[in-house]
């Protein structure tokens, strides 16, 4: 089953690990050499490295996948919340509310005055309609192998949690539906109860001040979660940054990719070049794989000889993640 790009995970910093077995490392090296030659004749996706007179050598010897097969410490950034984009389709049934502009649904000041449009839309946004795909499980596999430092995502669908990535390894930059609170006094409110009320057409209200209660997803005009500051500790530690399925347009999230050290490889897996990858001058170890996120991830998994492990993980998603 395929999923919209907005339901894919996003950017990944790798973590100090013991090297993989010689067999796996050799397999990855052989695959990389063959793949780089194949990329020269395919239009499905492209590999781009910093403008360099010796580009092919830079790709073969410094490709970020080499680091993936030998090092640890992966951070992940994820796709922009497409639900906020006008024209995405989710606003079609909200015209009856006569909202001043589409983004007002996610504006905290507008919500306090008129929560009806959001509560109508919330029924479509609540997690449960989608299931994790191989990209989510790829990130879970990185964790199980001790490779994942942190998973930074802009998505609010909770698919990272459903894939079994431990909560302490995830930073949900735009918040989560797994908790709820009052939009005025911030008093916590049972998340399940809030969901039941919303689906029953009842607006949940704070038991302390009677203010409107909402899931703890970040609205325009609200601060990012405190966990976001973890990035300034995580990213400088990274040995590799993987950026997946994102437009890198929303700040301050978009600037995270620049926190890693200049010597650290940054791998973009996306449909188009974004952020610093769209500029003419890249860092020497920047690589962009352009194309379908699932297809590229699948190819990468095969190159690392992880297919059997990933397939097993996807068949038994409820198994407890390995702690690291």
Q: Which residues are annotated as a binding site for Zn(2+)?
A: 182, 185, 206, 209
What pLDDT, on the 0 to 100 scale, is given for residue 94? Answer: 67
Place of tokens 């609170």: 181
Of 103, 40, 32, which is closest to residue 61 (Cα–Cα)? 32
Asked if domains 5-81+131-174+228-315 and 87-128+177-217 share a fold, the reply is no
What pLDDT, on the 0 to 100 scale, is given for residue 111? Answer: 94
Distance CA 293, CA 310 (A): 16
In whole angstroms, how far apart are CA 49 and each of 35, 100, 149, 287?
Answer: 15, 44, 25, 5
Crossing angle of helices 293-303 and 22-39, rounded to 10°: 140
Specify whether 174 is catalytic: yes
Structure token pair of residue 216:
């703890």
Crossing angle of helices 134-144 and 307-315, rounded to 10°: 110
Dihedral angle at the C-alpha atoms of 282, 296, 43, 48, nearest 10 degrees?
10
Give kind and range of the element (H or E) at residue 32.
helix 22-39
Of 19, 8, 51, 53, which is closest to residue 285 (Cα–Cα)? 51
What pLDDT, on the 0 to 100 scale, is given for residue 64? Answer: 55
CATH number of the 5-81+131-174+228-315 domain? 3.40.50.1220
Q: What are the sequence ranges of the domains in the chain?
A: 5-81+131-174+228-315, 87-128+177-217
Characterize the bridge pairing of strands 74-77 and 11-13. Answer: antiparallel
89, with CB counted inside 10 A (0-12, 13-18, 19+), is exposed
What pLDDT, on the 0 to 100 scale, is given for residue 48? Answer: 21
Weakly modelled stretches of the chain, pLDDT under 70: 1-95, 317-324
What pLDDT, on the 0 to 100 scale, is given for residue 216? Answer: 96
What pLDDT, on the 0 to 100 scale, is given for residue 260? Answer: 87
Q: Which residues are annotated as a binding site?
A: 182, 185, 206, 209
What pLDDT, on the 0 to 100 scale, is given for residue 91? Answer: 58
Structure token pair of residue 181:
């609170």
Place of tokens 């983004």: 103
Characterize the bridge pairing of strands 175-182 and 213-217. Answer: antiparallel
pTM of this structure: 0.72
Domain 87-128+177-217 in CATH: superfamily? SIR2/SIRT2 'Small Domain' (3.30.1600.10)
CB atoms within 10 A of CB 207: 11
Distance CA 132, CA 139 (A): 11
Q: Write down the catalytic residue from 136, 174, 203, 298.
A: 174
């Amino acid at each position: 089953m395929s999923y919209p790009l907005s339901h894919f995970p996003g950017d990944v910093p790798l973590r100090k690990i013991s090297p993989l077995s010689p067999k796996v490392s050799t397999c990855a090296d052989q695959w990389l050499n063959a793949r780089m030659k194949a990329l020269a004749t395919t239009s499905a996706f492209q590999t781009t490295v910093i403008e360099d007179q010796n580009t092919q050598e830079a790709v073969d010897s410094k490709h970020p996948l080499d680091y993936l097969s030998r090092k640890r410490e992966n951070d992940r950034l994820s796709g922009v919340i497409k639900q906020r984009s006008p024209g995405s389709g989710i606003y079609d049934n909200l015209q009856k509310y006569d909202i001043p502009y589409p983004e007002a649904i996610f504006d905290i000041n507008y919500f306090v005055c008129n929560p009806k449009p959001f509560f109508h839309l919330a029924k479509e946004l609540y997690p449960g309609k989608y299931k994790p795909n191989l990209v989510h499980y790829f990130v879970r596999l990185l964790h199980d192998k001790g490779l994942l430092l942190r998973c930074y995502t802009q998505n609010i669908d909770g698919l990272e949690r459903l894939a079994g990535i431990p909560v302490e390894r995830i930073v949900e930059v735009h918040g989560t539906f797994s908790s709820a609170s009052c939009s005025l006094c911030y008093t916590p409110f049972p998340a399940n109860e809030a969901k039941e009320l919303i689906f029953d057409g009842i607006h949940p209200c704070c038991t302390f001040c009677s203010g409107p209660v909402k899931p703890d997803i970040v609205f325009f005009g609200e601060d990012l979660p405190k966990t976001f500051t973890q990035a300034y500790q995580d990213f400088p530690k990274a040995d590799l940054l993987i950026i997946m399925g994102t437009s890198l347009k929303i700040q301050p999230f978009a600037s995270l990719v620049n926190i890693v050290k200049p010597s650290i490889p940054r791998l973009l897996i996306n449909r188009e070049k974004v952020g610093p990858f769209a500029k003419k001058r890249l860092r020497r170890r920047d690589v962009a794989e352009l194309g379908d996120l699932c297809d590229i991830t699948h190819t990468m998994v095969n190159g690392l000889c992880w297919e059997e492990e990933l397939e097993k993980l996807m068949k038994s998603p409820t198994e407890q993640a390995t702690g690291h």
